[in-house]
Amino acid sequence: MTSQLPAVVTLLTLLLMFATVWMVGRARHRYGIKAPSISGDPAFERAWRVQMNTLENAVMFIPALWLAAQYADPLWAGVAGLIWLVGRVWYAWAYAREASRRGPGYMVSMIAWAALVLMAAGGIGMAIMENNAAPAEEAAAG
């Protein structure tokens, strides 16, 4: 199961992204905001910003998750991914109610993202060093 955790997190991220699309559609209907307008009632604007910010963050999150899973550890990458998801849901819930309360959820998600980037960078760095060490060892043995 631990090797599938990044896939589960990715699926949950897709569901979160769909939920934000749903929120915007509901808000459009509720507040009479006709496409392509993206302004009007503040509640609609908050829902729209939650969707856009979640999409923007997912573009950075998903590659970081999979690089960390591939080059570091799928379990720890998945755990950091779950923390990112909790932060994003917290962010979305808080922002939809009052924009000034979005900060804590945002910080949780960004810390989790940073952990994934560090895991990925460390794992990739180790892989590069191992690949560079192999030819030198072969030359010394030969």
Q: The domain that contains 23 carries what CATH number?
A: 1.20.120.550
pTM of the model: 0.90
Cα torsion at 44, 47, 52, 54 (round to 10°)? 180
pLDDT band (50, 70, 90) for residue 137: low
Domain hosting residue 25, numbered range: 2-141
CA distance 123 to 107: 24
Average of per-residue pLDDT across 97-126:
97
State the Rg of the chain over Cα: 20
SS3 81: helix
Which pair of structure tokens corresponds to residue 85?
């998801």
Number of domains in the chain: 1
Q: What is the DSSP string of 81-117?
A: HHHHHHHHHHHHHHHHH-GGG-HHHHHHHHHHHHHHH
- pLDDT digit string, tens, across residues 53-93: 999 999 999 999 999 999 999 999 999 999 999 999 999 99
- pLDDT digit string, tens, across residues 12-41: 999 999 999 999 999 999 999 999 999 999
CA distance 26 to 98: 17
**Does the CA dihedral 49-50-55-61 come out positive or negative?**
positive
Would you say 87 and 106 are in contact if contact means Cβ atoms under 8 Å apart? yes
CA distance 60 to 69: 15
Average pLDDT, the chain: 94
